[in-house]
A = this chain, B = another copy of it.
Amino acid sequence: MDARPPSSDSSPWLPFESRRRARDEKRDAVLRTAVQLFLEQGYHRATLNEVAERLNITKPALYNYFRSKEEILFECWAVGQERVDGFIAGINARGGTGLVKLRQLVHAYAENMATDHGASLVRFDQRDLSEKNRKIVRAGKKSIDRTFRKYIADGIADGSIKPCDPKMTAFAIAGSLNWIGHWFQPDGAMSATAIADEFTDRLTEGLAARPLKKTASAVAKKKPSREGIR
């Protein structure tokens, strides 16, 4: 419609210039733009026309990479889920007490929640998906929930965590973390890492069987870093 200046964000389709690029790169660009727009406006208000417009292409061109709007939504979610699955695998691989694993999970999950694809895990509505994809999403959520509960149960078993109801505790912790996806703003006062540090301490301090050696972020606020959570 209107003559827009080339969009400022990076799009592989610079208007009428070298067009040919790797297919996957373009697919990813669609997902990045879509997740951003879906979060910004909500899935239903966001139109494929606008997704396309931001990429300097037209709506039907999107159908070279996706079969439907719903598939785009699902793939946005899948990226976030894969990341979570990834760092959970890492935590499992490194091992440790239940408390240590829980703290790592909280930290990584909080940081993820501050990204677009992470927030999409909680801000998108399952009911917008096909039955098939909805099943996959439910399985993913269930898996994350099981992991939280397992680390808590592990911690109770190995004595690092005070006895409590793993289910309710997991709900309480996951609730706090998921909520980050609703209020976090990249340009806000606190960085994602700072928030993750803060939440890691706050959400687990009440659980530790014995007072834990204070982490960097809790006492000497000198260098908030991922190392602080070990």
Taking beta carbons and an 8 Å cutoff, which residues of A are in contact with B? 41-42, 44-45, 125, 127-128, 164-165, 168-169, 171-180, 182-183, 190, 195, 198-199, 202-203, 205-206
Contact = CB atoms under 8 A, between A and B. Distances in A.
B203 A172 contact: yes
What does DSSP make chain A's interface, helix, strand, loop or mixed? helix
Given A179-B178, A179-B179, A169 B202 contact: yes
A179 B171 contact: yes
Contacts of A182: 178
A37 to B, nearest CB: 13
A206 B174 CA distance: 17
Contacts of A183: 171
A42 B127 contact: yes
Nearest to A165: B198
